[in-house]
Amino acid sequence: MKHIFKQKVFYSDTDAYGVVWHGAYLRWLEMGRVLWCEAQGQNLSGLKNQDIVLPVVNLNVKYKASAKLDDEIIIETWIEKYNSLSVTFKQLIKSKETNKTYIEALVDVVAINNNGKLYRKMPQVLSEIFERALKCPVLV
């Protein structure tokens, strides 16, 4: 399942040249993953209450072009692959106006408990969501 949301580039997202600072993209990628999970009925606070935390363990970002102040961007998020230990989100950040891709990212996430111990198998509440998402490419 793909989740899409729009975001305006604000002054605080840019550097002295009015170009989006590279770290701002990471914040939008995080927002995309959080909103994707919420669209599946799971929020991070609820998961934490179930002794599940989802840290990023690998982040591969390709910067293809720069967004600028006042641009409207689109953040797309979906599951690229899933195994019993980790899930890989594929994310794109694009121009709303031209559809030009600014960022392509692959983000690997695992599940740990609140004490930092790795789950050797993804908790069932998440595995069911990730497996369903791979089978159903519907927009959320």
pLDDT of residue 137: 63
Q: In the chain, pLDDT over 90 holds for what percent of residues? A: 94
Mean pLDDT of the chain: 95
**All domains of the chain, ordered by start, with CATH?**
3-123 (3.10.129.10)
Phi, psi of 111 (to 5 degrees): -110, 130
pTM of the model: 0.93
Q: What is the pLDDT of residues 12-70, one digit of tens each?
A: 999 999 999 999 999 999 999 999 999 999 999 999 999 999 999 999 999 999 999 99
Q: Name the CA dihedral angle for 54, 109, 31, 10, rounded to a multiple of 10 degrees.
A: 130
